[in-house]
Chains A and B, each alone.
Chain A
Amino acid sequence: MKRPGLVLQWLAPLAVFALLYLGWQAIAFNYRSILPPFGDVTGDFLSRPGFYGTNLLATLHAALTGFAIGSAVAILLAVLAVYFASLRAAILPVALLLNVTPIVAISPALIVAFGFNAVPHIIVAALAAFFPMLINAMSGLRQVDREALDVFHAMSASPVEVFLHLRLPGALPQVFAGAKLGITAAMVGAIVSEFTGTSRGIGAAIVMATTYLNLSQMWVAIFVSALTTLALVGLVVLLEKLIVRW
């Protein structure tokens, strides 16, 4: 039964992409103002990869720095929340409030505060990555095999040992689930934050394209950010496969 599985795995999505492509072209050649022909999009990218590369690097810098900071703080808080119930009670409402706040909307306020540089975008990316990471890490660290805990306690394992040998490895699958969501959120956060207050980054390239009604540039920027985010998630999955091998 291997073959039908392979067909389903590769041919079905390929067919969907082919249909999407045909639909795209049908619109592009009838309504030029809605979509550019696909050839224009790829042509624009191939004619000036340096332009997109530079902007992508700026976005990646903001997104990855923000992701690193946001998830580090989230994991640290999640660890502390396991041991201090009062901290857990204090964190959750703030985290929820943060989650329902349109974080990208505070980007202008951050630009006023920190100026026209990468800092506001990094902060937005960090805030976007923070919540999924916190929720997943907290639930992963809290749910622990009670019976394994009995085995540990019966031989007087120290709290540090319980953490390092039981809680932390047990939480890894959930931490990775949080990282997959967090890295996506960080990319989106960075790009949308770049809509204001900067001339660098994929977000800025999209805004610029709007100003000049440059549809091709807009779509290259969209595809580049989507494919890059996909690659980043793929990287997290790869890392997970290497570390979580059970």
Chain B
Amino acid sequence: MSTDRILLQDLSKVFTRDGRQVQALTGVNAAFQRGEFITLFGPSGCGKTSLLRIIAGLEAQSSGEVSLFGQSPATASQLKNIAWVPQSPALLPWLSLRNNVLLSERLNRRADRRPGSHRQPEDADAVLRDLGLADFAGARPAQLSGGMRQRAAMARAFVQGAELMLMDEPFSALDELTRDAVRMRLLQVWEKHRKTVIFVTHSAAEAVMLSDRVLVMTPRPGRVHREVQIDLPRPRTQEVLESPAFDAKLREVRQVLRSGWEGEE
């Protein structure tokens, strides 16, 4: 097993709903390099969240293999080597922002004594500073805005220092202006840390802005339709994001989606 790559081999997922069998995912094959920012992009029902949950070990696949740098999702999880960023921030309301961000240091403390541990926890205060939250370290989640809470959820994942970060549409609940600002923050912080990220979204602009590679997925049954390499320069400054090359990539991603999926009313 390759220890420097993430390999998905022939993954499929079938679940039963109301007595009917639904094929959520079929024949997913992919390989991701260490340090890549990968986006799973597609309409709802394409299985992108299912795929992410399988990679995280939160759900079991029906068939196929997942190898995260040579480890199974279960092993990587036991080593705290997977950081999960859910759709809502899911902060613990009774903890200060700083203690929320340090959650990974409270849980599963045995992980770091296990052989094969590779995670490198980051300094909480430094991450909070990078995400513009340093002044709010002592505040409770209820005292923060939605954008700040979402940044805190990302800070929690960065502090965990896992080799793999999985983000399940983390910005979908934010208003558009806040989304733009939080995406930019993520971009900046990620370009500094360069963790391997698998990011789920149904926004083409978000996919192109953040990723090195976009896996365009289509529904019924959920599958990877095609990959698009986003070879825009990094750092992705405002200039890059407003360049004709960016617009061209955005069009390409949308065209690829259309070629596999007619869209629905």
Contact = CB atoms under 8 A, between A and B. Distances in A.
Interface of A: 145, 147-148, 150-158, 161, 165-166, 169, 172, 244-246
B92 A166 contact: yes
B104 interface: yes
Q: Is the interface of A mostly helix, strand, loop or mixed?
A: helix
B197 to A, nearest CB: 14
Contact of B92 (A148, A158, A161): A148
Interface residues of B, number: 30
Of the listed residues B103, B106, B142, B160, the one surrounded by the most CB atoms of chain A closer than 10 A to its CB is: B103
B77 interface: yes
Contacts of B126: none
B155 to A, nearest CB: 13
Given A145-B90, A147-B86, A150-B58, A156 B77 contact: yes
B94 A154 contact: no
B80 A156 contact: yes
Contact of B107 (A161, A169, A245, A246): A161
Contacts of A172: 94
Interface string B143-156: 00000000000001
Given A151-B156, A154-B83, 12 more contacts: A145-B90, A147-B87, A150-B58, A150-B86, A155-B80, A155-B107, A157-B108, A161-B107, A165-B103, A165-B106, A246-B94, A246-B141
A152 B57 CA distance: 12
3 shortest A-B CB distances, which residue pairs?
A: A154-B84, A147-B86, A147-B90
Contacts of A161: 106-108
Contacts of A158: 107-108
A156 B86 contact: no
Contacts of B156: 151
29 contacts: A147-B88, A148-B92, A151-B84, A151-B90, A153-B57, A153-B58, A153-B77, A154-B56, A154-B82, A154-B84, A154-B166, A155-B77, A155-B82, A155-B84, A155-B104, A155-B108, A156-B77, A156-B78, A156-B111, A157-B107, A157-B108, A158-B108, A161-B106, A165-B103, A165-B107, A169-B94, A245-B94, A246-B93, A246-B142
